[in-house]
Amino acid sequence: MTDQELTLETHSLGAATVEALQQAIAHRRSMGIARLKPDAVDRSLIEQLLEAANWAPSHGETEPWRFTIYTGDSRVALGEAFAAAYQQDAGAGFHEATFEAQKARALMSPVWISIGMEPALKSDGSLRMDLEDERIAVGCAVQNLHLVASAQGLAGMWLSKNIFIHPHVAEFVGLKSPGQLLGFFIVGWPNIPWPAGERGPVSEKVRWAE
C-alpha cells in the first residue's frame, strides 16, 4: 500500500460522504427577506448552524466569529436599532415612513443572526492577526452556517450593507472597536420552490501551472 493509499484509508470519510458534501455545497442558495415565511425556526436547528460555523478555520486559531441571535420579541429592539441608525445618517433627508420601515424590517425574518468579528489581542493590546485575516475567518464561518441551513431546507442570506454594518447597530449587538459588525444572516423557511442554481464552468476560472 502506498503512502497516499494509506492516508486515504486512514483519514477519508468515504465516497458517500464526499458526494453528500458536494451536493450540499451545490444546493446552497441565498434567499432574501421577501422569500421567507414568518414561521418560527426551532432553536435546535439554529444551534446546528452555529455549531457548523464554530468549526470554521482561522489563522492562528483565533476563532474571531461572534454571533447574537434575534428571534421573537427581541426583533423589536433590533428594528429600533435599525431605525435609529437610519435617523443618525438621514439628516435633512429624514422620512418618517422610512424610519418606520426600518423598524418593521426586523420583523420580516423570523431569525436574525448578527455577524461579528472580534479579533484576538496580544497581552499589550495589539492585534495577534491582521483584521483582514480575522474577517476572512468569519466569512468561512458564515459559509459553514449557510451550508447547513440550506441542507436543512432553510432559506437564508448574508446582509452586509448600509444599516446592517452601521456603528450604532454594532454597538447595539455588543461589538466594540477593534471588533466589527460584518452584517446579519437571516434565516427562515422558504415561501417559494427551492431555486435552481447555475455556475459557469470551473475550467474558465482555473489555471494549472505545469
CATH number, domain of 139, equals 3.40.109.10
Residue 85: inside a domain, yes or no?
A: yes
Encode pLDDT of 31-41 as tens digits: 999 999 999 99
Residue 68: inside a domain, yes or no?
A: yes
155-159: strand order across its sheet: 65-71, 111-117, 180-188, 155-159
Residue 66: inside a domain, yes or no?
A: yes
95 annotated among ligand-binding-site residues: no
Total domain count for the chain?
Answer: 1
Residue 4: inside a domain, yes or no?
A: no
Tens-binned pLDDT, residue by residue, of the chain (210 aa)? 566 665 656 788 999 999 999 999 999 999 999 999 999 999 999 999 999 999 999 999 999 999 999 999 999 999 999 999 999 999 999 999 999 999 999 999 999 999 999 999 999 999 999 999 999 999 999 999 999 999 999 999 999 999 999 999 999 999 999 999 999 999 999 999 999 999 999 999 999 999
- For 137, the domain range is 28-192
Residue 7: inside a domain, yes or no?
A: no
55 annotated among ligand-binding-site residues: no
58 annotated among ligand-binding-site residues: no
* Whether this model's pTM surpasses 0.85: yes
159 annotated among ligand-binding-site residues: yes
Residue 10: inside a domain, yes or no?
A: no
Encode pLDDT of 163-194 as tens digits: 999 999 999 999 999 999 999 999 999 999 99
For residue 148, the surrounding DSSP H or E stretch is helix 131-151
Residue 149: inside a domain, yes or no?
A: yes
Residue 1: inside a domain, yes or no?
A: no
User: Which cell numbers hold the place of 85?
Assistant: 441608525
Cβ neighbours for 56, distance < 8 A, ≥ 6 positions apart? 65, 137, 138, 140, 141, 143, 144
208 annotated among ligand-binding-site residues: no
